[in-house]
Amino acid sequence: MKQEFAIHWFRQDLRIKDNPSLNYLSKKYKRIVAVYIYDEVNCDKKLGSASKIWLHHSLIYLNKKLQGNLVIYNGDPIKFFKLILHQYNVLEISWNRCYEPWVIKRDRFIKNNLKEEVKVNSFNASLLWEPWEILKQDGTPYKVFTPFYRKGCLNYKKPRIPYTRKFNFFDHQIKFSDISGLKLLTNKDWEKKIIKYWMIGESHAEESMHTFFSSGIKDYFEGRNFPIKKNVSKLSPYLHWGQISPNTLWYEALKNKNKSDSKNIDTFKSELGWREFSYNLLYHFPKIYSQNLQKKFNRFPWTKNNKFQISWEKGKTGYPIVDAGMRELWQTGYMHNRVRMIAGSFLVKNLLIDWNTGEKWFWDCLFDADLASNSASWQWVSGSGTDSSPYFRIFNPTTQAKKFDPNGEYIIKFIPELKEIPLKYLFSPWECPKNILNDINFKFGIDYPRPIVDLKLSRQKALSAFSSLKSY
Ligand SMILES: Cc1cc2nc3c(=O)[nH]c(=O)nc-3n(C[C@H](O)[C@H](O)[C@H](O)COP(=O)(O)OP(=O)(O)OC[C@H]3O[C@@H](n4cnc5c(N)ncnc54)[C@H](O)[C@@H]3O)c2cc1C
């Protein structure tokens, strides 16, 4: 007789706790088989290098948790389901929803295609509110964050309360592929170095959350702007891969309301709100990852400059805060939010390079690379989004560094070559007098580059390019 079981299809919900699809199946079935499908067939944008590393280690962790029972398949999910339905008696297939436009299209196709043969169900496990739930009174999507969050989200029903049912994964003999067969790693030195900064897996996400709520949250409102401070949670990669749910964070934040100033808690919740907003934009404007939301930006006179682009990617622009951020990204797979804004603004507004170029580099290097948040944030930085930093807001990397890294600790951490430069000149080393440079044996072009553009001139150039769009 054919084996009988239900399937939970793991996607960006790589956790056991507070997993709505798993909760649902475990209520109905004793035998659940967990599956992960690596699908490069139906996607318009393949995973970046850092995401592949995270995924590799996440699958190893998850498979261990499931006592080696995670079924791995590489290819088109519909093919997998057809095969497995043919060979086994599958009672139901269930998953948690994702919101990339090609995934929505694929999942719809799979549901329609399988519904005659097997029951198929899907759940929300990664958002506090579904994007189609939060709409303006006239039924159209919000385009501005504050009303989206305050009027839309906070007035809507409360987010689902996290919940975990006990269940056992069925000890089966099904085998399609193994994790190494997905070839997510390429054995480059960079891969080995970058991963050392992280502990990957559900329990580590929980540990990070507890650490954050026992210390970082206390001064989150102020401290989250200072890249050297430990006031941010660094939970974004775990959130992206679903190793912790936003619901868990939302309710944990509420639990901490008495321990911390409500300003800190409310700000943290509103940051989760920004994540929701990004998903809302992605859902309602599915081309957001490649096309300007404001069409007038299609006429923007971007420059193509390979030398500038590489200097930016490698953290060699001559502007210490920009370079520290870009090196943090390269070394750790993460960049602090404040520095993402500064480095992003520098690329788009001082180098006049199209935001898509920056989006692609971040996509490849970030462990938290997320189609919704990355695209929406880049559109925000460039001014082409719906609720964007206005074009005339051009971050000055020197004043930003003085304000948010006043002792230069973040800069020195990632650019140790600058450690002998007196603090007075650390944010603009090109102003450091020659005699001091000689004393410390510092050579521009060898130890650290001179600025690749002049801030004032490039700012003027950007302003006139941006104002040329006004007439459209
Ligand atoms: C140019 C640019 C690109 C970005 N690309 C991404 C990306 O690919 N993936 C990503 O998750 N975030 C992205 N962000 C948003 C933000 O920088 C990160 O979410 C944040 O730095 C993650 O660090 P954290 O977990 O310590 O944040 P915390 O301050 O601890 O915030 C908690 C959580 O709230 C969410 N969040 C916070 N700020 C934002 C924001 N501005 N937009 C959306 N969600 C937010 C994240 O999920 C984060 O983990 C980008 C920002 C910029 C300016």
- Tokens, residue 82: 């057809």
Residue (of 65, 68, 72, 333) closest to 203 by Cα position:
65
Spacing, Cα 201 to ligand 1 middle (Å): 19
How many whole angstroms separate alpha carbon 234 and alpha carbon 368? 9
* Substitution site in 250, 280, 356, 368 for ligand 1 pocket (most atoms within 8 Å of beta carbon): 368
Specify the pLDDT at position 33: 96
Q: Please report where in the chains the tokens 């043919």 appear, as a residue.
A: 86
Is the distance from the beta carbon of residue 224 to the nearest atom of ligand 1 less than 6 Å? yes
Whole-number pLDDT of residue 471: 61
Separation of alpha carbons 272 and 430, rounded Å: 39
pLDDT tops 90 at residue 472: no
CA of 450 from ligand 1 middle (Å) equals: 30
pLDDT of residue 393: 83
pLDDT higher than 80, residue 164: yes
Banded model confidence at residue 170, pLDDT cuts 50, 70, 90: confident
Kindly report, residue by residue over 394-409, the tens digit of the pLDDT.
Answer: 999 999 999 999 999 9
- Find the length of the chain: 472
pTM confidence score: 0.97
Instruction: Judge whether residue 390 has pLDDT over 80.
Output: no
Q: pLDDT by residue (tens digit) across 103-130?
A: 999 999 999 999 999 999 999 999 999 9
Domains in the chain, CATH or no CATH each: 4-125 (3.40.50.620), 126-161+187-284 (1.25.40.80), 295-467 (1.10.579.10)
Instruction: Give, as one character, the DSSP assignment of residue 89.
Output: E
> Is 249 a pocket residue for ligand 1 (Cβ < 6 Å)?
no
Query: What's residue 467's pLDDT?
Result: 86
- Residue 257's pLDDT is what? 86
d(CA 400, CA 224): 14
Residue 229 CB–ligand 1 contact under 6 Å:
no
Averaged pLDDT of the chain: 96
User: Above 80 in pLDDT, residue 168?
Assistant: no
Q: What distance in angstroms lies between residue 159's CA and the mean position of ligand 1's atoms?
A: 20
- pLDDT for the residue 218: 94
Nearest CA among 277, 278, 198, 178 for reference residue 243: 198
Is 464 exposed, middle or buried, given 0-12, 13-18 or 19+ CB atoms closer than 10 A?
exposed
Torsion of CA 242, 243, 248, 252, to 10 degrees: -140
